């Protein structure tokens, strides 16, 4: 059975990336493929290959875009319906 990073591993990787983004960005630029780390590498971002980092950064970018699209759709709907979004509106809640 193939092991992929869990939420804790992803958080750990983002933390490591925040401290070493120049290095990661440099190796990712040269990489064409992307795939998640597997096995014991999942838990150790210091061992990740460029393809692993590219997978993570693409995943993060897609999540950010999806959240922004959702937010804009809710805003457009509220403008169209001429409704002011309340604090408890489901559009204001996260995904």
Assess if residue 83 is contained within a domain: no
When divided into structural domains, the chain yields a total of 1
Looking at the predicted structure, is the pLDDT value of residue 51 above 90? yes
Q: 15-19, 36-40, 57-61, 65-69: lowest mean pLDDT where?
A: 57-61
Assess if residue 69 is contained within a domain: no
* Spatial separation of the C-alpha atoms in residues 89 and 84, rounded to whole Å: 10
Whether the Cβ atoms of residue 35 and residue 66 lie closer than 8 Å to each other: no
Q: What percent of the chain has a predicted confidence (pLDDT) above 70?
A: 83
Domain that holds residue 37: 7-64
Assess if residue 44 is contained within a domain: yes
Compare 33 and 83 and report the one with higher pLDDT: 33
Whether the Cβ atoms of residue 71 and residue 54 lie closer than 8 Å to each other: no
* Spatial separation of the C-alpha atoms in residues 62 and 80, rounded to whole Å: 27
Assess if residue 72 is contained within a domain: no
Assess if residue 36 is contained within a domain: yes
């Amino acid at each position: 059975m193939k092991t992929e990073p869990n939420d804790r591993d992803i958080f750990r990787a983002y933390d490591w990336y925040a401290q070493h983004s120049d290095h990661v960005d440099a190796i990712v630029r040269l990489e064409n493929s992307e795939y998640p780390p597997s096995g014991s590498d999942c838990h150790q971002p210091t061992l990740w290959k460029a393809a692993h980092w590219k997978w993570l950064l693409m995943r993060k970018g897609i999540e950010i875009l999806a959240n922004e699209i959702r937010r804009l759709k809710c805003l457009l709907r509220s403008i169209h319906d001429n409704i002011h979004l309340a604090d408890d509106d489901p559009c204001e809640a996260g995904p």
